[in-house]
Structure 1
Amino acid sequence: MEIEKLLQAVQNGDVPAFLDVLQRDPLVLDRIIVLGVSETPLHAASVLGHTNLVQELLRRAPKLASELDSRGNTPLHLAAAKGHVEIVTLLLSADPAAASARNLDGRAPIHVAAIKGRVDAVGRIVVGAGGARSAREVTDRGETALHLAVANGKLEVVRAVVGAVGERDGAELLNWKDCDGNSILHIAVAKKQIETIKFLLAIPGVNVNPINKNGSTPLDVLKQSPRDLQDMEIEDSLLNERALRSKSIYPFDHDPDQMQIPQVSREAPTSPLLVMREIPLKNKPPARKRANEISHHRSSLMVVASLIATVAFQAAITPPGGVWQSDYTVDDNGKPVKEPHFAGTSIMAHNQRKEYGLFFIFNTMAFLSSLSIILLLVSGLPIKRRRWMWVQMVTMWIAMTAQVITYFIALRHMTLDKTDSDVFPVLKKVTETAVLAWFCLMGVVFIGNLGRVCVYYLRKKGYIKKKKKREEEARALPDDVGEDEEV
């Protein structure tokens, strides 16, 4: 009976009622510990945020801080999950070992706080329970609080932990791998969390080329994931920090568990051997250079295609001259008119049907061509070779040309009447000259790219030899590096 009254007082946060129960039965808390109640009063007070009541409970029965509920949670688990920072502090003071206690899910209090994004609670646990040691607590799957925070999109938790333990210990935590060999960077790339990726790459000690048990680096994870608009920015961020694919690090088959992952140094090399290894990275090997060029082309195509699609869509719903605002089917005498029109239909389609037909055709070509490019870029298909980029560029030329023709058709429709003998001939001449100049420019671009294609295939067939730059690179190397290379 007294236990029920005690639990009722705790649930209501009524400290006087709680003290009254203890005065009538001073051993009620000890009986709760002995009986093994699934949820102690301290559990209830911690999850409800009754700070004063928690303080009274810990003062009279500090052993309650280590008791577990039916799910294996300590009161610290519940307080951390709810973000009650003051209660977390009280519980850590009463039982520091509770910071390492794991529930039935294999999670410590810092893990549940990280999942919920309780930044202050995570920081208080790290500071009050041994600093980096508490941040190194792992789940049954080898996940740290940072793994769980990134998996749930809680960047502020990552910032809080790194800030609490310092960059040196923080880098060690960020490079920690779970049971699948995934680091924090693997998870952030898989989740397409751009801000988290940029934050991680800004920390000097973070390894940008860790390999998981599938033999994949973060760049491999990005390439294997479904494509979307964020991939280009993520790829550029990784490549700027010298991220590599696993096949570039280990060209032959290796056991991922036995791989020694090279840590990419972000400081200037000092030894001649490091200088020699640094030069190809600075000058970018041909494969890396081509990959970067294609990545930039993809980004440019996406931006231009989006703009053309937007303009074409707007031109379709608001054609030149606008649309009729009301129906006109009968005259003032109630007789049917010869050329009726209806609200919402194009005025240009009614007055200039031939010109509107051309406008409709070329505007549709521009819209569908630009959408085709966007669809190819986000489809996730392996279309990163140069030949596919040329196909997309030709499609872009078609879209731009169609958009130019649409523009001149609309411009001529909205000008003065053709019967104006002074203005219309000049306008017609200017329009024809501009269109001719545009097609000449497109011809020059087409011929230039056609020449590139021809040179590419001639080199591929062996009719044209590639220029060898090895001698030039050897001259650029210092003398001592050249001697080391010969040795």
Structure 2
Amino acid sequence: MALAYVYIRVLCRYALSYYHSPNMETKLYEASLTGNVQALNALLHQDQLILDRLSLTGFNESPLHIAAMRGHHQFALLLLTQKPKLAVALDSQRRTPLHLASANGYLEMVQELVRVGGRDVCCFRDQDGFTPLHLAAMNEHLEVVKALVQANPDAAKEITETGETILHVCVSYNRMESLKVLMVLWNEEELAKITDHSGNTLLHAAAINKQTRILNFLLRIQSIKDNGNVVNKHGLTALDVLDQCPRDVKSLETRQVLMEAGVLRANDLRPSIPKQLTKSSRNKRKGFLSRTWARYVNNDHHWIEKQRGILIVAALVVAAMSFYSGINPPSKVLPNNTNGRFSYQSEMDDFNQFIVINLFTMITSLAIVLVLISGLPLSNKFLIWLLTVGTLFIMVTMVANYWDSLSNFGPDGYVDLTVVWTCLVMILICGVIALIHTIFFVTWVVIKLLKCGMPETHRKGNQDDAGEV
């Protein structure tokens, strides 16, 4: 009895060692590498469960994966006949045999795998988010692409892990023929609006990858050309995203294609001009005093720069006129000792007075110009006020000197009434402008001093109120 028991145990161990022999599994994978149908039949005759135990092996791919990769059609047919579930088996990268057959362009293999695995196998995605259709399009196997689309059109709608549509993948890989085949699944309006997860259109994708041939093809589609200035989620047009790419010869060619098609940058699309016109109209309605006060209260650096330019021009004009008057004084001002000693002394006094005033006007003008061109930080409102009042003052002295010179020409110091009133009006205007600037400057200083003792919230509120004066 004990001998019989030992005999049975030996037979069982032999059977298990035979059926689970790693040599049979190795032979199976060797047969799949070469596509040896006779060897597969022999292995199936020896062990009908060999395909059922594939899930227990340590191999990364099934024999059908290898056959699909190598294009062994008859070998794959036999495998699918014995075990149809192999059509949806996954390897270590979550690829089905259909992925491998599609990537390599084996049309008959693809058709058989789809027939056995069903239309849903076309939508299986690998670890990178690619379907068999993605891989076929990326490798431009057009017949396989058409077969997969015909089997399941929904496979073309699958999105990759990076958020790209299959059309974006075709553009990225420069597969224009695949793109043409797949574009028929969308109408023209949809093609213009199709985007990836970043909101990039097909034009964005072509610009990023500098695919000029595809760009020219896409821009021949009217709806895409009409929507060429669509911005992505970052507010960038196709021309903007191209500017962010490294510059080379291809980028220059791509930029030319986009610009010829009327594609603009996002900044050129913003309605900045209407806003400026609105602001300008609002400022015109305020009046001179309100605008000047707003410039004093708010830090309007543009106005300060403009004011500096005006002061330089005004000071240079006054300096030039003073210089000319100094070297060419009026003949009546020049002393003449033939008129007697007393008369000569009076003429010398007039001449000296003219020269002193003229020299003061010229030197002050040149000093103002020197300060303005010295590079000093003239954003300080005190300096701007001081230079403005100084320029107005030398204008007054120039007008007064002109008036005095005219009086020396006329008999007994006669000057026409029109000239007198003109000079007086000019002096009065300069005085009024200087007074306005002085009042605004003093008021601004007082407000600044009062704000120093206020909380931050009150300061902001008062500043806003002041800007609306």
TM-score, normalised by the number of residues in structure 2: 0.49
TM-score, normalised by the number of residues in structure 1: 0.47
